[in-house]
Structure 1
Amino acid sequence: MTPASLPTSWRSVLPHLDEPLPPDRSPEATAGGSDTGVSVNLPFTLVRQSTQNREFWDIPAEVLDAYRSFRPTPLWRARRFEEAVGARVPIYVKYEGGNISGSHKLNTAIAQAYYYAKAGVRELVTGTGAGQWGTALAAACAMFGLRCRVFMVGTSLQRKPYRGTLMRTLGATVHASPSDLTDVAARTGGGVNSLALAIGEAVEYAGRTEGAAFCIGSGETYSILHQSVIGLEAIEQLAGLEAEVDSVVGCVGAGSNFGGLALPFFAEAAATGTACPRLVAAESSTTPKLSRGVYAYDKTDATGVSPMEAMYTIGSTYPIPDSHSAGLRFHGAAKVISAMRHRDQVTARAVGQVEALEAGQVFTRSEMVLPAPESGHALAVAAQLASDGGSSRGVVACVSGHGYLDLSAYQQLADGELSNEPPAEQALDAAMDRLQPVPGLAIAGSGHGA
């Protein structure tokens, strides 16, 4: 493992994009009405971090102090994993699972809790899929003296009850979604289990509760900025090893750990005039927004009142098949990741849960680290690139979290009970047909696959 210094600034990719990100729109404006911009309940610093073409943002001292308990995180060459998968080039892994939340999510949770506390908010409310984000926010709220309320996708909470226990231990109130607390859940009839619904419940609850604010951990531009510590450390660590990579891989739900690792490589290449490595997003085959989706305006949650964002999406109305990769079961990708995808600055590969967990199993046996199912998608793609000629110099992948609360998935794999649930083609087409294209841009689809 190679040491690194803790970054004292986050690095934004926005100054290095060819065009500004398409503005958000109100639901009524998707056919050409007025823009809404960033949600007004955000602390002003988060608004500026999402919109200004400023490359470096100083990390507040209080956030740095919190980071020091678990950062820098380790990066190493996974030699035994290379041998196990028949790699022809080196595979390096950046491990983000060694903190209380067990994932990269704590990087932005700490930052957001700090800014919301400074703004006078007393309670943060959120939705979570696999539970890493809910756990991270619960921990961050405990650090800064805030109350925390989490709506967790019900099927995930059933599979991972100890995620709920950990969040409650950290002081959070946890509800299985759909719950009986919100109108948006009541309108579904109780039969929907999705991250969009859990987020929708959190949006509704926060909107009617004094002193509360909705908080999200993955898709927003500011959350990806906070995750840039991953890539900044990785660049320094690879330089310390005198290692070169031409592929950077992370799994994608909305895009925070992928963006956190990959976008600093893009910014560094743009700033220095050097070639950028290939940036490869590994997604779930149940939710193939970047490999099969369309670039369009879509809802980020199930309420229908939040701003519409320009994203690669398979449609917020699409009934996503169930899988153990709950953190990847979000219908759309972050707007900055989507804009780069549309310009072919990012590529994507979809992976089934069986292949992802098999890669995770191999990694566990070879590297003695148990990855989360979501991270198994990144490892599967890294193994493909390193062994099939997709990379000529080396691959670095983000192992975004540990899998100790996902052992039921590995047990099902061992028992031969897992299968890959393919998307329902007719429903997928119907969900995407309802969407409004991003104005002035051709819609790119599966022709952009990696």
Structure 2
Amino acid sequence: MSKRKRFMLPETEIPTQWYNITAEMKNKPLPMINPQTKEELKAEDLFPLFAEELSRQEVNQTDTWIDIPDEVRDKYKIYRPTPLVRATELEKALDTPAHIYFKNESVSPVGSHKLNSALPQAYYNKVDGTTNITTETGAGQWGTALAFAAKAFGLELAVYMVKISYEQKPYRRSLMQTWGAQVIASPSMSTKAGRKIITDHPNYQGSLGTAISEAIELAMQTENCKYALGSVLNHVSLHQTIIGLEAEKQMEMADEYPDIVIGCFGGGSNFSGISFPFMRHNFTGEKKTRFVAAEPASCPKLTKGEFKYDFGDETGYTPLIPMFTLGHKFTPANIHAGGLRYHGAGSIVSQLLKDGYIEAVDIKQLDSFNAGVLFARTEGIVPAPESNHAIAAAINEALKAKEEGKKKVILFNLSGHGFVDMSAYDQFLAGDLTNHVVSDEDISKFLTEV
């Protein structure tokens, strides 16, 4: 009898609520700190920057379930529920007893999971009467998602795109512009933060921290304008739990439960989304699933960073966040997984790592692309360079299961496809990519400034 390949939920099974993990955490994340007053951040402190409901979601540590507005759920129907797929061909290629499943978030119109938070963020801004929003983007996945969401809810959007990605990924820029967004390479001359960085470092290729500084500055100086962020913050992780909530139902359809859940890790959005709904069963002691965050060896905040209060951006415009960080001035290598080139981790994931609920692995760039090519040749989907890190970690776990002769059930999030990242694959296949590993000396240099 052949194995069932795809597990599909009907539209009626799109979750009606997001899961707020902080309400069930024994040790709550430490509060964010207002850098001016040095006091605990309250929701109203965030109102100048974010939509009011998003600000309330950010600090909500009491409500386990938060309703998804009908208007957002209607837009989710464009692509949700997403498929759960058993990677049977990959299993065969690895000759492993492990059962490997992936949640395919690449089927969204923008090609990644980022739309799960972009739609509610655009909606809540519209409800507040906001007309313009600003954001940053690394590889362009968040920027494209917010461009689509802004258009869906009638908002104008300006996107600061990390300069190296702006040059490496022209089609992501084209997608944003097709959906009506204005795209600016960061650092730029359009903000004080950008001008200072260009003056100090004329050839600087940019970072997410820099782009965040520029987007916040523009939002604060523009009338009726707010800022939106695609990862790191608690409300973003909240919206992304729709991934794991669907996956739970689909794993039931497969009559299996994951021993290991894996996501690639930049700031934490897709990792949180796939893992938090399953993690609540670990809290009760009912399950003992392992949760593995796969980050790039060139930007290893979880594996080599330190837990400190740090800024989320390079200039110091954001609140101080309790996070595992490499230092907000850390400049990651110009790897193609642009969405993972971020110096810090969200406060929820940081607390869960401290408490031993999750573990982290770092993946070298060439290993990630080897994994992505094997996945493409077996399962037919060319993954985004970011997602390749999760695939590499899943392959490592499947090979361990083979060595031990144990059947393990592995679930990973395919956070996006790589169809607009083919220049990265061109370079990999031509042998032009290299590994970047950060030395302890470099890391300690940036951490002393925190």
- 2-side partners of 1:196 and 1:19: how far apart? 28
Matched, 1:356 2:336: no
How far is the alpha carbon of 1:37 from its aligned partner? 3.5
- 2-side partners of 1:392 and 1:25: how far apart? 45
How far is the alpha carbon of 1:225 from its aligned partner? 0.6
Which AA in structure 2 matches 1:22? L
* CA deviation vs aligned residue, 1:342-383 (integer Å, no higher than 9, x gap): 111110000011111111111111001111000000000001
Residue in 1 that maps onto 2:344: 332
- 2-side partners of 1:148 and 1:85: how far apart? 44
Residue in 1 that maps onto 2:20: 12
Matched, 1:40 2:47: yes
Instruction: Give percent identity, aligned residues only.
Output: 38
Residue in 1 that maps onto 2:330: 318
Residue in 2 that maps onto 1:237: 250
- 1-side partners of 2:357 and 2:136: how far apart? 30
Report SS of the residue matched to 2:372: helix
The structure 1 segments of at least 4 consecutive aligned residues displaced by more than 6 Å after TM superposition are none
Residue in 2 that maps onto 1:395: 410
Matched, 1:428 2:440: no
- The one of 118, 124, 138 equivalent to 1:115 is 124
How far is the alpha carbon of 1:187 from its aligned partner? 1.1
* TM-score, normalised via structure 2 length: 0.93
Where do residues 240-319 of structure 1 align in structure 2 (5 Å cutoff)?
240-270=253-283, 273-319=285-331
Instruction: Indicate the larger mover: 79-88 or 364-373.
Output: 79-88
Matched, 1:147 2:147: no
Residue in 1 that maps onto 2:3: none
- 2-side partners of 1:84 and 1:411: how far apart? 23
- 2-side partners of 1:336 and 1:355: how far apart? 28
- 1-side partners of 2:140 and 2:18: how far apart? 25
- The one of 164, 168, 176 equivalent to 1:167 is 176
Tell me if the contact between 2:118 and 2:149 (Cα under 8 Å) persists in the aligned partners: yes
Which AA in structure 2 matches 1:19? N
Residue in 2 that maps onto 1:443: none
How far is the alpha carbon of 1:285 from its aligned partner? 0.6
Task: List gaps (5 residues or longer) in structure 1.
Answer: 436-450
- 1-side partners of 2:442 and 2:178: how far apart? 40
How far is the alpha carbon of 1:425 from its aligned partner? 3.3
- 2-side partners of 1:106 and 1:255: how far apart? 15
Report SS of the residue matched to 2:7: coil
Tell me if the contact between 1:204 and 1:303 (Cα under 8 Å) persists in the aligned partners: no
How far is the alpha carbon of 1:392 from its aligned partner? 4.9
Residue in 2 that maps onto 1:442: none
- 2-side partners of 1:27 and 1:12: how far apart? 26
Where do residues 49-64 of structure 1 align in structure 2 (5 Å cutoff)?
49-52=57-60, 53-64=62-73
How far is the alpha carbon of 1:275 from its aligned partner? 1.5
Where do residues 403-414 of structure 1 align in structure 2 (5 Å cutoff)?
403-414=418-429
Residue in 2 that maps onto 1:3: 8
Task: List gaps (5 residues or longer) in structure 2.
Answer: 1-5
Matched, 1:225 2:268: no
Which AA in structure 2 matches 1:222? H
Over aligned residue pairs, what C-alpha RMSD do you find?
Answer: 1.4
- 1-side partners of 2:331 and 2:8: how far apart? 44
- 2-side partners of 1:94 and 1:229: how far apart? 11
Tell me if the contact between 1:87 and 1:383 (Cα under 8 Å) persists in the aligned partners: no
Tell me if the contact between 1:85 and 1:387 (Cα under 8 Å) persists in the aligned partners: yes
How many equivalent pairs are there?
431
Residue in 2 that maps onto 1:214: 227
